[in-house]
Structure 1
Amino acid sequence: MSFTVRAITLDLDDTLWPFAPIGERIERVLDAWMRMHSPATAAAFPPEAMRALRERVWQQNPQLAHDLSALRRMTLEAALRDSGGDLALLDAAYDAFYAERNRVEFYPDAREALERIARRVPVAAVSNGNADLDAIGIRHLFALQLHSREHGAAKPEASIFLAACAGLRCAPGEVLHVGDHVDADVRGASLAGLRSCWINRVEAMWPHDDLAPDLHFDTLAGLADWLEAH
């Protein structure tokens, strides 16, 4: 398939790097941090209990589904408060989380592919997560970044895709959204009027009959190759 792409919007977690290892490390780092700075909290909320608390906080605050940072802070605050810990530790605990959250390991192809893509067209990061492009060291590869927290709504809401297109000064049909998630990325972007590219690293089957991605690759390098060829 051949069509014009004037700009790209790009998902981050599980598109440029796997998130599962980050999540596992966050649990270990927070547990070690609590054991050092708030032993009562570590005793009351070992990793499994902290995970359950986080899920409970998220379920009780669906209005914040677009703001993972706020939900994480609320979880840490609840853990400190419920264990009799010092709430003055909240900012430092969050900083420990955030530093680990932004220690990412790119998929083998992804960093070079991103650089190749960014040389061709402007790229906007569009993410429901809270990755910090400056901390990760790739901010220079993006024309803009739009997180659901600052936008006020998360993918697959059409508004976040359309806001990114406006920031790129392109019509939706001129923008290709690239991501791993079938619904939040591909279906959401398609219904908002963007072109879509599914990065399917796990060889999953496409589940929808009513629409399909415009492009489908098993690596981001596949998209970089396509752009260079077209």
Structure 2
Amino acid sequence: MIKLVTFDLDDTLWDTAPAIVGAEAALRDWLAEHAPKLGPVPVEHLWEIRSRLLDEDPSFKHRISALRRRVLFHALEDAGYDSDEAQQLADESF
């Protein structure tokens, strides 16, 4: 008996771009409301954080959700939120 079927976001069975674009827009809106210190973060800054984290811990390549949370955490810290608040916001935004 099949109990669970999952799909990753590799465009094998469906075009994932609209879902990803929508999710990113929803995240930006949420962050604008709940983390105003962050402001409009240049995507290049997020990619720099992502790259640094992957260099430090290559296992993040296989743990995308954890990587996204850590990127958000570091971006929030860089924006001036203390560690606890940055962690809470990163978790809530996800």
Q: TM-score, normalised by structure 2?
A: 0.68
Q: In the alignment, does 2:20 pair up with 1:23? A: yes
One-letter amino acid matched to 2:92: A
Q: 1:71: which partner in 2?
A: 67
In the TM superposition, what whole-angstrom CA distance separates every residue of 1:163-193 from its partner, at most 9, and x where no partner exists?
xxxxxxxxxxxxxxxxxxxxxxxxxxxxxxx
Corresponding residue for residue 93 of structure 2:
93
Aligned mates of 1:76, 1:21 — CA distance in 2: 21
Residue number in structure 2 paired with 1:84: 80
Give the corresponding residue for 1:37: 34
Identity percentage of aligned residues: 31
- CA apart distance, 1:33: 1.0
Output one character per residue of 1:99-152: Cα deviation in whole Å (capped at 9) or x when no partner: xxxxxxxxxxxxxxxxxxxxxxxxxxxxxxxxxxxxxxxxxxxxxxxxxxxxxx
Indicate the RMSD between aligned Cα atoms, in angstroms: 2.6
Shift of the alpha carbon at 1:55? 3.7
> Alignment length, in residue pairs?
84
Confirm or deny: 8 A CA contact 2:37 2:79 kept in the other structure.
Answer: yes
Instruction: After TM superposition, give the deviation of residue 29 of structure 1 in Å.
Output: 1.4
C-alpha distance in 2 between matches for 1:16 and 1:67: 21
In structure 2, do the counterparts of structure 1 residues 35 and 53 end up closer, same or farther at CA, with 3 Å as the change threshold? Answer: farther
Give 3-state SS (helix, strand or coil) of 2:37's partner.
helix
User: What's the TM-score, normalizing by structure 1?
Assistant: 0.32
Kindly indicate which of the two structures has a greater share of residues assigned to strand.
1
Shift of 1:51: 4.4
1:181-200 matches, within 5 Å, as none
Q: Which digits, 9 at most, give the CA deviation of each residue in 1:191-220, with x for residues without a partner?
A: xxxxxxxxxxxxxxxxxxxxxxxxxxxxxx
- The 5 Å alignment of 1:1-230 reads 12=7, 13=9, 14-43=11-40, 45-46=41-42, 48-49=43-44, 51-53=46-48, 55-57=50-52, 59-60=54-55, 61-85=57-81, 86-87=85-86, 88-94=88-94
Larger radius of gyration: 1
